[in-house]
Structures are given as structure tokens and as C-alpha cells.
Structure 1
């Protein structure tokens, strides 16, 4: 990828808006440009980079592999530029209205607070409602404006961005491990108590393929609430997998089988296409994306 700092920002902005809308005419309207002007800017960027960024399928423009790669590099630039423009004009401080964010209860309680501080600092007049739910809320029915989930949505009218590949390990309270012993191998886990996050059968479906010798008998305590289940771990009732960042911020717990490969799970940030026309949703989406990516 060429050094993006040496490219014309107008050309990059034209590419970003075209990628977001999938249409030269729609992108031109968003940027208040004529379609030929926008088309020339995208073509100039392709010439500067020496690659084709779009291919036309019917009436729709589709990103090439090179275009998709460039999009990942330039999204952060676009978000930063939007926030600079809002800050310079004082508009961020004046943005009002409600934005509803849905995320798991664990993420809502342990991960989002710092992002919410950033949102309040930049847009203090916004009203933020956090819907802490472990089920997948339907953005199409406007149950939320922005969703943070570990699965990519399938609806074509939603905009989804993979913001990170998070890692997790198994954790337990030091007091529990002092009493029951510290497992050295996966086989040692067979004699330990585990805390269930939601449905035990579903949890075993994720853990058994990892070569863990666990059965329902290992899960004598659990909760549909991830926050409650994690607190049971903290209080010494047993072992459970947890996001490494959340565990690191929890006093009194330690990693079990530290040599074990981490569990990987994606974090998707999703919004309806209203993202393109709502300043308040776009601002919150961009701040969340920057925070979660970091």
C-alpha cells in the first residue's frame, strides 16, 4: 500500500464515500460534487496507486480486493477528518438526540465505559442509551442504532465493520486455585468446577472441540447474565473463559493454563445505513470504532 499521507485527501474522500454508498451518483450527492468530478477523483486515486479499486456489476460498484484493502487503511482517516471538522466548527458540542447502543452485558459493563467518556467529552448533549443484552437485537426494527456483536450480521442493509479480533483465556480466582489446585494440562480441567455463561450445551459446543474433557457435570453454577457469571468466578466458585482485557481489569483472578493458545473471537460494529445521514449516529459509531480498534 502506498504512503497515504502523500495522496490527495479529496481523492481519498471520494473513494471512501463511493465505497460506502456503492454508487458514484449517491457519493457525488453526499459530497455535493458532480458525478463526473467525483469519477475523475476516484480515477486519479486509482492512477496514483496503480490499481483498480472498483468493478462495475450491473448498476452497482463493487470493491476489488485492492479497494477493500485500501478501505481498511483509509476509514480511520475519514473518521478522524470528520471529527476534526466537527470540532473545528463546534458542531460536535451541539449535536443532540438519542443514540442506542446494544452490546453484551459484559462489554457494556467492563469495556464500554471508557468509550462513553470519550463520547460525552466530544458531544456532551447527546443522550446515550446502552442496551445490555446477550441476544442479537434487530437493527432493522430499530431496537438499537449501533450494535457490538461477535457475529457478522447477514442483512444487506446493515453496515458492519470488523474492529478487532479479541482474545480470551480461562480464568479463576486465586482463592479458588489455592483450594483446588492449579491445572497444568487440559486433562486436569476434568476435576474442576466451571461457571456457565448462558446455555451449558451451547457452551460445551464451543469448548469440547478445543480438546477440553468437560461435561455438564463440570457446570454446577451459571447465569444468563455474563456480569453475574463473571462475578461468580471472581468470588471463587470456578473457572470460566473471559476476554483478556476484562480479566486484566478484574482484581483477584489469574489465568488458568497460561500456555494454552488464546481463544479468538471477532468484534463487529454494526449500524443501519442511516449512519450515512445521521451526524449523531456517525459520531458515536466513529468514536466506538476508534476505541475498539485501539
Structure 2
């Protein structure tokens, strides 16, 4: 049996899961040519084609898809080994990475992190701004602030509390436009949309706002960008209450409207619970997020 190089297998797995050579290279800290050579070497060793090019995209071949199922099990086992080793470091110093949505990362986390670093200056905090559900198995983050419960084995979730979101407009916008009297009026009130306009429109329709994706004139893939547009008087958008509360010059619309309930979860991997620095940061996050 031909011995396989784990680096080549890892290159294949990263490329298959990220969908591109460039993204896989960034994930593994390699140059794209190096990663490409490793994937090609694995194909040559096995004598099979693992990827096919469709336009500018890489698509798994049938053999590649079958191999990915097996390699994913190996990758998970290696990840667990790394988690166990990292979790056994009985030292309060070191790096802790926190994944959070862009709004939390920009508006709420800095104040909390400032207090953490004052109390434990030997800890290095890395903030991973992500609107996706960071894969804690892959060590993209040690702790994730999420708005849904953990959905994979090995992850531990702590439900901190439920927060609320409402619709807001700037005081300047309200001076130039008539305040919408009913929730259904928002369809003609310059709503700013998130990038997945079909999903956003569907949600708004469910709560009584008659809009279609083609109705939006301003769209952004970042909630921070949307909020900055609201602050500049460019339109109306929903936002978490605690972020709106610390923003000057914005007004909540429809004071009688039932809140949009948004759960707040802290999630980490079970193997990281033995790490003092992870527990310290997680406890401080839980305490400060619960007080907001």
C-alpha cells in the first residue's frame, strides 16, 4: 500500500471544505502554489482526479466526494487531539480567540475585552469577526458568541440571555420623512437590507411588512455598514437594543411593537473546558454580556 502524506491529505481536505485553493491556502498558512502542488501530489499518488474545474470553480469529482467523507473523519480526530492538547495547558497566559458577529465585534466586545485585558494582561485576545457559525472544531475560535444553540457533538453552549431587536431611524431621517405609523408602512420607508435580500424580505413579510427583494435600494453584507447608513439618515433598519442604546441620534420606531427576540449563546468545545484561560475569558464574557 502506498504511504500517503498527511500534509497532502490536509491540503485536499481544506480545499474541498473551503471551495477554493486561495481560501484553503489562507486557512493552512501556505502559499497557493504550494497548496496546489500538494493536492496535485495526492492525485498523482492515488492515480485519481479529485477536483474538476467548472469555469473558475473547483468541484469535487465523484472520487473526491467519496474520499472527503473518509478524510473528514481523520481531520476531526486530529482536531480533537489538538483541542485536548491545548486544553491541558494549565496557565492563565496565552491566546484566546473570540468569534462574534460584526456588530458585537465592533460595538460591544471592545468594552468587555478592555476589562479582561486590564485584569489579565498576560492573555492575548483575538477577535474573529464572523457572521457565520464559526467551526470551533477547526479552532477558528476558542469561544463563539452565537444567536443559536450549538448544533454539533462536542460543543457546549451557555444560554446567557435573550436580547431584543427593534427598527430604528436617525433623528435626521425623521426630520426629513414622515414617521411610519404602522409596521406595514415600512415597506415604503427606505428599508436597508442585508445581502440575502430574499431571506430578509421573507422574514419581513412574516412580521407584516409587504416587501419583495426588488424593493430594496440599499443593500449591505455587513450589519455594521447597515447601521452606519442608518446613523447617516439613509434609511431604516432593525438593530439590537443594546447597540442602539449606546448610539446617539437614533430613535426607536413603533414603541408598542413586540420585540424581535434574539438569543445570546456562548459556545466552546468540551475539550477546552480544562483550560484556565478559556474558562476565565468565558466567565467574564458571560458576566458582562448578561449585564447588558
Give the shorter-chain TM-score range: 0.5 to 0.7
Q: Does 1:225 find its partner at 2:218?
A: no
Query: What is the CA distance between 1:226 and its match in structure 2?
Result: 1.3
Q: Which has the higher contact order (CA 8 A, sep 6+)?
A: 2
Which residue of the partner structure matches residue 167 of structure 1? Answer: 164
Aligned positions of 1:122-137 closer than 5 A? 122-137=119-134
Which residue of the partner structure matches residue 177 of structure 1? Answer: 174
Which residue of the partner structure matches residue 253 of structure 2? Answer: 256
Moved segments of 4+, more than 6 Å: none
Provide the aligned C-alpha RMSD in A: 1.5
Q: Distance in 2 between matches of 1:207 and 1:190?
A: 9
Q: Distance in 2 between matches of 1:199 and 1:252?
A: 28
Which residue of the partner structure matches residue 157 of structure 1? Answer: 154
Q: Distance in 1 between matches of 2:117 and 2:205?
A: 42
Q: Distance in 2 between matches of 1:196 and 1:274?
A: 39
Which residue of the partner structure matches residue 116 of structure 1? Answer: 113
Aligned positions of 1:65-144 closer than 5 A? 95-144=92-141
Which residue of the partner structure matches residue 236 of structure 1? Answer: 233
Task: List alignment gaps of at least 5 residues for structure 1.
Answer: 1-91
Is the contact between residue 185 and residue 209 of structure 2 (CA under 8 Å) also seen in structure 1? Answer: no
**Greater mean alpha carbon deviation, residues 155-164 or residues 192-201:** 192-201
Which residue of the partner structure matches residue 215 of structure 1? Answer: 212
Change (3 A) 1:118 1:132: same
Q: Look up the SS of the partner of 2:247 in the other structure.
A: coil
Q: Distance in 2 between matches of 1:196 and 1:190?
A: 11
Which residue of the partner structure matches residue 3 of structure 2? Answer: none
Q: Distance in 2 between matches of 1:197 and 1:150?
A: 17
Is the contact between residue 173 and residue 253 of structure 1 (CA under 8 Å) also seen in structure 2? Answer: yes
Is the contact between residue 192 and residue 218 of structure 1 (CA under 8 Å) also seen in structure 2? Answer: no
Query: What is the CA distance between 1:124 and its match in structure 2?
Result: 0.8
Is the contact between residue 105 and residue 134 of structure 1 (CA under 8 Å) also seen in structure 2? Answer: yes
Q: Does 1:193 find its partner at 2:210?
A: no
Change (3 A) 1:119 1:274: farther
Residues 154-204 of structure 1, C-alpha deviation per residue, up to 9 Å, x if partnerless? Answer: 112011011010101000111112212101112322221111123111112
Which residue of the partner structure matches residue 245 of structure 1? Answer: 242
Q: Distance in 2 between matches of 1:205 and 1:103?
A: 25
Q: Distance in 2 between matches of 1:276 and 1:188?
A: 49
Task: List alignment gaps of at least 5 residues for structure 2.
Answer: 1-89
Q: Distance in 1 between matches of 2:117 and 2:271?
A: 21
Matched residues, number? 202
TM-score normalized with structure 2 length: 0.67
Which residue of the partner structure matches residue 144 of structure 2? Answer: 147
Query: What is the CA distance between 1:205 and its match in structure 2?
Result: 2.4
Which residue of the partner structure matches residue 62 of structure 1? Answer: none
Is the contact between residue 100 and residue 128 of structure 1 (CA under 8 Å) also seen in structure 2? Answer: yes
TM-score normalized with structure 1 length: 0.66
Query: What is the CA distance between 1:216 and its match in structure 2?
Result: 2.2
Which residue of the partner structure matches residue 54 of structure 1? Answer: none
Q: Distance in 1 between matches of 2:106 and 2:151?
A: 27
Which residue of the partner structure matches residue 286 of structure 1? Answer: 283
